[in-house]
Amino acid sequence: MSDERPAVNLSALAEACVQDAEEDPVPLGDLWANQRAVFVFLPPLRSKAARMRLALVSEHLKPFRSLGAEVYLIGPNRPDQADRFEDAQKPDCELYVDPERHAYRAAGLLKEDRKASQSSGILRSLAALLGASFEDVKEGVEYGGLVVIVPPGRVVFAHAAHAVDEPLPIKQAHEALKNSGWSHLAE
């Protein structure tokens, strides 16, 4: 696991719109405007890694919430896939999707992968020949990560996963949030 912090583009992240279950756009900046926010970027929702990370995050919801933070899950999928994930996994926090990966890019979490790009090109060509659509095939790999932001917009912790099965450093994120110095009472 690397300690290298991802390059979070806070203004682009604030403007990045994710989709809720009804496919309505939600600008991420709205989610941290008045409270602390912990964004857990998941790998594709169909993966075992997404379920494992959800289980890890679920164990730590109470400590985050005791510090005035809300936890938001973000998946790189379509809303219909998020519905299936929510039905099966029943997360105790909000789940949004980012099918175009704008939030992943702004958070510095989209890993460009030449092999994935080559595979993507091959699959897109095959899709064109068959008249099919491969919406989930993107250039890049979403290993996910964690970004913690306090109002009015300060990143206090960020971590990019370097492998799909890498556990997220939840305890470090909690410590950073605890030491962030922001209080909703100060606003």
Instruction: Place 95 in a pLDDT band, splitting at 50, 70 and 90.
Output: very high
Task: Over range 1-26, report the average pLDDT.
Answer: 87
Q: Which domains does the chain have, with CATH numbers?
A: 10-180 (3.40.30.10)
- Cβ-Cβ contacts under 8 Å for 131 (sequence gap 6 or more): none
* pLDDT tens-digit readout, 52-85: 999 999 999 999 999 999 999 999 999 999 999 9
Q: Given this model, what pLDDT does residue 163 score? A: 87
Q: Given this model, what pLDDT does residue 142 score? A: 78
Strands 141-142 and 69-75: unpaired
Q: Given this model, what pLDDT does residue 5 score? A: 82
Instruction: Place 133 in a pLDDT band, splitting at 50, 70 and 90.
Output: very low
For the cut 90, the answer to whether the pLDDT of residue 1 exceeds it is no
